[in-house]
Amino acid sequence: MFVDLLSQSGLSLERLHSFCLVAEVGGVTRAAKGDPAKQSLYSRQIKELEEFFGAELMRRKGRGIVLTSAGQRLHSIAREQFAALADFKTECQGQPLEIVLGAGESIIQWLILPRLEMIERKLPNARHKFLNLTNAEIVRRLNEGLIDFGIVRKGEVALPLKGAILGLLSFSLFIPAQMQASLKGKQLPELLRTMPLAVLEGDGSFRQQLTAMARKSKMDLQVKVECSSFPLVARSLATGMLGAILPSIAAQELRPLGLIEIPAKALQGFNRELCLVWNPRQLRIRTALENARGIFVEALRSQRATL
C-alpha cells in the first residue's frame, strides 16, 4: 500500500520530528539551542525532506524561518500522526491520556477548576493541561492542532471548528460588605459614578463595553486599579476600598471573602455565550478525545444557571 512512499530514502520519523521542532520554535538555531552539531543535523534533515517531497517547506525570514503552504500542511499532518501514535502508546501501556484545553484565566479559575473533581471522576485515566490563552490564540492553536479543546465566546467559532454551547456568562458588580450600607438604594450608574473601581486593563471587548456604557450614561469612571485578568481584579477587592464588575461565576469564591454581588440589568450588555470548541480533525486522529469532549460538555454545563 505504501511501497512507493517508502521505497525512497529521505523520509523518517526522526526527520519529521526535527522538522516539527524547527517549525514550532521558528528557526534551526533556536531548535538546536546553540549546539552546532544539532544545527547541522536539523538543516540537513529538512533539506532531505524537501528533496523527498519535491517541495520547499521553509523559507528564511530575518533571523528565523516561516513555513511555506506545503510546510504548513506537512507540519499539520506530522503533528497529528505523532499525537495519534502517542495516544496509541499511552493506551497500550495504560498511561494517562494528556488533554490540553485553552481558556481565559477567569474561566479556568471560576468555571473549570470548581468542576475538576467531576471531570476527573469520569476521566480517571487522563492528565489535564489548562492554558491561559486569548480567544484568538485558542482559535489559532485549535486550527493548527496544538491544543485539543478551547472555551471561547460563541462568535469566535468558525469552520472548520465546531462547538457546543455551555451557557451564558453574565456579569455583576461586586463590592466589599463594608461599603453596602453607604450604597443602599443607588442605581448602577450612580454607583459607578462615585465608587473607586478596579477594572480589566487594555482595550479588549470588556473594556470597550465598559467605556461605551460610561459614555452613554455621561459619567466619568473612578478607575483606581487596572489588572491584566479578572482574577487579579477580584483580588484587589480584598483592600475593602474598591468595587469591580466581574463574571457572576466568581460569586462562589468571593462571597466567603466578604464581597457582595449586586446583579444589574444595566450589565446585560456584557453577557456572552460560552462554547466548548474543538477541531473535528483532531478528534478523528485522537479518537479518545471524543469521549472527553462529551464529559467536558456535561461537566461544564452541569451548573448552567450559574454561568
Same domain, 108 and 144: yes
Report yes or no on 88 lying in a domain: no
**Burial letters 247-278, b for 16+ CB under 10 A, else e:** bbbbbeebeeeebbebebebbeebebbbbbbb
Torsion sign, CA atoms 45, 47, 51, 56 = positive
Contact 168, 228 (CB under 8 A): no
Residue 19 has which C-alpha cell? Answer: 522538522
Distance CA 148, CA 118 (A): 19
Report yes or no on 90 lying in a domain: no
Residues of the chain short of pLDDT 70, as ranges, are 1, 302-307
Same domain, 67 and 106: no
CA 51-71-158 angle, to 5 degrees, is: 155
Residue 274 has phi, psi (to 5 degrees) of -100, 145
Report yes or no on 83 lying in a domain: no
Same domain, 63 and 144: no
Same domain, 250 and 286: no
Residue 228 has which C-alpha cell? Answer: 491584566
Q: Which domain holds residue 17?
A: 3-75
State the total domains in the chain: 3
Same domain, 47 and 191: no
Same domain, 43 and 179: no
User: CATH number, domain at 245?
Assistant: 3.40.190.10
How many angstroms separate the Cα of 46 from the Cα of each of 42, 67, 160, 250? 6, 12, 29, 49
Same domain, 259 and 179: yes
**Burial letters 232-241, b for 16+ CB under 10 A, else e:** bbbebbeeee
Same domain, 164 and 283: yes
Same domain, 66 and 111: no
pTM score: 0.84
Same domain, 153 and 225: no
Which pLDDT does position 306 carry in this prediction? 39
Report yes or no on 81 lying in a domain: no
Same domain, 197 and 230: yes
Same domain, 239 and 203: yes
